[in-house]
Amino acid sequence: MLRGVCLENIIAYLSLCFSAWLMGFLPMLEIYVALPASMLMGLDPMSCVFWTALGNFMPIPIILYFYDTLRKWKKASRLLNKMENHRFNRTLIQHGAWMVLLATPIIGSWTVGILGRSLGMSKTKLFVVSLCSICMYSVILVIITMLGVELIKE
């Protein structure tokens, strides 16, 4: 009996983690929806930060390593062209890594990955700066969410 309860708890936890990761990964949800939603579903704050940040970061390596393959597909190529002409393009060129640090959660990791790749930013720099940005915003967002929940409870 005890073994079944533990297995159910593990499966429930893993399903919450996967949901948090998936919401962080999807372009329209990303970190701003994924983190509070994961907390509302019952995931603890540290797990929320880890899984949503990991999900939100995953598009960066996918785009960097499969960019040329994506270019070969007609629909993906159109989408890449649209994202490469994003309004933050000129600003990203001018300010480089600092703009990536500030803009990743705002314009999304998918767009930052594509802009960084198309502008020739080094993979290492893009990895480090976008990961720092996503982690920083995740921690700030979980603190704000926790404070908001505490205010609602009062």
**What's the pLDDT at 77?**
74
Confidence of residue 129 (pLDDT cuts 50, 70, 90): confident
Backbone angles phi, psi at 20, to 5 degrees: -65, -45
Per-residue tokens: 4: 């079944």
**What's the pLDDT at 1?**
47
Which residue type does 65 have? Y
57: nearest Cα among 117, 123, 133, 140:
133
88: nearest Cα among 119, 60, 64, 131:
119
DSSP 73-105: SHHHHHHHHHHHT-TTHHHHHHHTHHHHHHHHH
Confidence of residue 19 (pLDDT cuts 50, 70, 90): very high
89 Cα distance to chain centroid? 19
Q: For 41-64, what is each residue's pLDDT tens digit? A: 999 999 999 999 999 999 999 888
Q: How far apart are CA 51 and CA 57, in angstroms?
A: 10
Confidence of residue 151 (pLDDT cuts 50, 70, 90): low
- pLDDT for residue 117 is more than 70: yes
Instruction: Give the mean model confidence (pLDDT) for residues 137-152.
Output: 84
Yes or no: say if 105 and 30 are a contact pair by the CB < 8 Å rule: yes
Number of neighbouring beta carbons within 10 Å of residue 71: 12
User: Can you give the residue range of the structural domain that contains 45?
Assistant: 2-153
151 Cα distance to chain centroid? 27
- pLDDT for residue 38 is more than 90: yes
Confidence of residue 4 (pLDDT cuts 50, 70, 90): low
Task: Give the chain's domain count.
Answer: 1
Give the residue with greater pLDDT, 148 vs 134: 134
Q: For 66-97, what is each residue's pLDDT tens digit? A: 877 877 887 777 777 776 666 666 666 676 67
Number of neighbouring beta carbons within 10 Å of residue 129: 22
**What's the pLDDT at 64?**
85
